[in-house]
Every structure is written in structure tokens, then in C-alpha cells.
Amino acid sequence: MNKQEMFARIEEVGLMPAVRVPSAADAVFAAETVFKGGIPVVEITMTTPAGADVIAQLIREHPDTIVGAGTVLDVDTARACLGAGAHFLTNTGLDPELVEFAHKNDIAMIPGALTPSEVMMAKKSGAQLIKIFPCSSLGGPSYIRALRGPFPNTKMIAAGGVTQLTAEEYIRAGASVLGIGHELLPYEAVRKRNAAWILELAERFAGMVKRARQQH
């Protein structure tokens, strides 16, 4: 799948689970459970021990999924993720050095942004999808709606504080994708290997995206 097809698939799914856990085994369990829940997209954060190895394993064992690297804060980490076969890189800010690395190596980059100036810079860098983080700190859905005014054609991931109470409103406000961490992958559920809990949440969030899009 090329980058355009990957971005289209991520937008179609509408959810980007962020796996941020204390061990590689936890990360593999969390990602595989999300896949079983019908969400074929995950972001393995580089705060996870052996995160690049987790990415390589998931891509090898689940070739029909999209596995990206999150919290990529420097070129060395980006290089390790590239070597692992990551489908995309993302972080919580806009780093020109990382953007240049991604362009040179033909790997998709999803930069983070918060202010209008940062969104403009991200768009100028060629970003097709921009992570608005932490959007809940600046008003949540109302902030996404405000950004959509000057940037009506910009694809945005609402991330940082998305909950079951706000998920549908974020989509109605104009978010293309929801970035969700512990609200979808509670650490207790991961620690206890409680797949049923995560599967229920996956189904619930997927249903919220579908409902909100029908109303939008």
C-alpha cells in the first residue's frame, strides 16, 4: 500500500490507537487485541521498551494492518523505526529535521501541531494528516471546530484527552481521526490481559465514529 492508500485507510477507520505501555509484551498484546476488535491501525509509541522490535513483529505477523511509530523525537529513533518497517512516523510536535528525514526516506510523517501557526507550518511541510495535540487542553471539540474555519480542507487527528464522552463531538467538529490511548487501552486491561474489556471499547469507539459521521 502506498502512502495515499495508507492515509485513506487511516481516515476510513477514523481511529488511531496509541499503544503506550511498560513492556514489549504488553504492546504486542494491546495491538493484537485492537486488530481483533476491527481496528487495523496502531501507533506504537517509542516510550515503549523495544518499540521498534514490536513494530517489526506486528508487521511481520499482521501484514494487512497499518503499524506506525509514535513519539518519534529524533532522527536516530526515526531510523530505527524505518528499519523496523514502520508505515508512518508521528510525534506531538513539528520537527523540521524529522520531516526532512521522512521525505528523504519516503516514509509518511504525521506531525503534531497545536496553534494555527503550527498547523500552517505542518501544511507547508507537506503533511497530509496533522495530529492536533493536546487538543483537550484548548477546548476540545470546540478548538477543532475553530481550526476548521481557516483550515477547512486539512485532515486532523484529534489527540490528547479524547474520551467516550467527547469522541462523537470531535468527529462532528471536523476531526478526521481520533487518537486514543488509555481510554481505549486501559492499562489494567492490558496488564491483566483482559481482551474482552479492550474489544468492548474498540467496538464502542468504532460505533461512535460511525454514528457521528452519519450525523455530520
Average pLDDT over residues 165-191: 97
Average pLDDT over residues 121-125: 94
Look at residue 216 in the predicted model and tell me its pLDDT. Answer: 66
Average pLDDT over residues 160-166: 95
Please report the beta strands in 58-200, taking only residues with DSSP state E, as ranges in sequence order: 66-70, 88-90, 108-110, 112-113, 130-132, 156-159, 177-180
Topology of the domain comprising 3-215: TIM Barrel (3.20.20)
Question: Is residue 106's pLDDT more than 90?
Answer: yes
What is the 3-state secondary structure of 79-120?
HHHHHHCCCEEECCCCCHHHHHHHHHCCCEEECEECCHHHHH
Question: Is residue 1's pLDDT more than 90?
Answer: no
Helix, strand, coil shares of the chain, percent, nearest 5, are 50, 15, 35
Average pLDDT over residues 179-196: 97
Backbone angles phi, psi at 129, to 5 degrees: -145, 130
Tens of pLDDT, residues 15-63: 999 999 999 999 999 999 999 999 999 999 999 999 999 999 999 999 9
Question: Is residue 137's pLDDT more than 90?
Answer: no
* Strands ordered across the beta sheet of 156-159: 108-110, 88-90, 66-70, 41-45, 15-19, 177-180, 156-159, 130-132, 112-113
Cis peptide before 116 (omega within 30 of 0): no
The residues near 24 (Cβ < 8 Å, ≥ 6 apart) are 48, 49, 50, 51, 53, 54
Question: What's the mean per-residue pLDDT of the chain?
Answer: 96
Q: Where are the chain's structural domains?
A: 3-215
Average pLDDT over residues 112-121: 96
